[in-house]
Amino acid sequence: MQPEEPIVAGACPVCDGHRRAVLARGGRDDPALTTVVCCGCGMVSHHPLPDPAAVAAYYAREYRLAHKGAADPKPKHVLRALRGAVARARRLAPLLPPGARVLDIGASSGEFTHVMARGGFQATGMEPNQGYAAFARRTYAAPIHEGGYEAAPEVPGGYHLITLNHVLEHLPDPAAALSRFHALLAPEGLLFLEVPNLLGVQKRAATLFHTAHIWNFTPQTLAGLAARHGFTPLAGENLAETSVVFRRLPAPCPLPPDPALAARLRRQVAEHQGTLAYILSGTAFRRRWHRLGRALEEWRTLRQHRCTTTLAQALTAAALPGGSDRINKK
């Protein structure tokens, strides 16, 4: 990559720095996409950042497209969402008091809200896509409200747990979101954040970056952003990953940024930029092979179920052994 003049941008949400270096030009769905890295802390984002109204319009378009075609998620996506929801429920339920108040932001087709509600928790969700929210209510009778996190209702005593599964990277202003969650949570409430991990990814920039992911996190920048808004990882969490349960603290607890991270990410992206290097690495082949295996397994599983509702019942029953109203805590 040719060195370029640093870009001056607005204050970084992790370190307040203004200097950015270009990490990549071009993305999966937009050849004009420019991705930059904060020179102070390694936070990666689009440049310029999109206007929040434009992001809302983007999701509004997606919503209309969804309604022209298939308003409901495909069965294979429901299967993946249910399996993910069961895994998250098994991880998070043991951390909660019985009957805890749980809020899922970006609840999609409602699987996590459904599984947690079946586990005896007061689970609700927020989902901006009307088609998916309607699917969740129809299929699972899940209490999913239409809208983004801004519209999430306050509850007396605050929520015990707020979850965002692959949602934070889509938000125009993740700092404002974390600030809001701090206000919505109970004094020692939990925040579960899972985002894609940019660190160590072996992909070409043309397939790695895309319009919908405004922010690209690493374990360091995720923890750094959370700390600035009063969240610290629970003891025992794997801090080498970007799937972390945080506990709410009374006040912010900023972490020192890692100024070496930006250079490390630039080297990583540059190393996987060439098509030949990418082919020789075998990454594309391994990924296709993995997808083929997954497609076959999903096809076999889906064949055993008449419709999405019976699939959901079967997978949720597996998470609730013996007809118990509590999620299996093993």
For Zn ion, the binding residues (CB under 5 A) are 12, 14-15, 17, 38, 40-41, 43
Phi, then psi, of 144 in degrees rounded to 5: -105, 125
Minimum CB separation of residue 38 from Zn ion in Å reads 3
Phi, then psi, of 226 in degrees rounded to 5: -60, -40
Minimum CB separation of residue 177 from Zn ion in Å reads 17
- Look at residue 231 and give its three-state secondary structure: strand
E-assigned strands of 95-171? 101-105, 122-127, 144-146, 159-165
Minimum CB separation of residue 14 from Zn ion in Å reads 4
Q: What's the rounded Cα separation, in Å, for the pair 327 and 317?
A: 10
Q: What's the rounded Cα separation, in Å, for the pair 54 and 47?
A: 14
Length of the chain: 330
Nearest to 89 by CA among 112, 66, 106: 112
- Give whichever of 96 and 223 is closer to Zn ion, judged by the CB atom: 223
Minimum CB separation of residue 255 from Zn ion in Å reads 12
| Rg, C-alpha atoms of the chain | 20
- Give whichever of 110 and 219 is closer to Zn ion, judged by the CB atom: 219
Minimum CB separation of residue 17 from Zn ion in Å reads 4
Minimum CB separation of residue 46 from Zn ion in Å reads 15
Q: What's the rounded Cα separation, in Å, for the pair 287 and 283?
A: 6
- Give whichever of 40 and 119 is closer to Zn ion, judged by the CB atom: 40
Cβ count near 188 (within 10 Å): 11
- Give whichever of 39 and 126 is closer to Zn ion, judged by the CB atom: 39
- Give whichever of 15 and 107 is closer to Zn ion, judged by the CB atom: 15
Cβ count near 305 (within 10 Å): 17
Nearest to 308 by CA among 93, 129, 110: 110
- Give whichever of 106 and 224 is closer to Zn ion, judged by the CB atom: 224
Minimum CB separation of residue 102 from Zn ion in Å reads 32
Q: Tell how many helices (H) and how many strands (E) occur in the chain.
A: 11, 12
Q: What's the rounded Cα separation, in Å, for the pair 194 and 151?
A: 21
Cross-sheet strand order for the sheet of 243-248: 144-146, 122-127, 101-105, 159-165, 185-194, 243-248, 231-233
- Give whichever of 38 and 199 is closer to Zn ion, judged by the CB atom: 38
Minimum CB separation of residue 26 from Zn ion in Å reads 23
- Give whichever of 213 and 272 is closer to Zn ion, judged by the CB atom: 213
Q: Which amino acid is at 30?
A: D
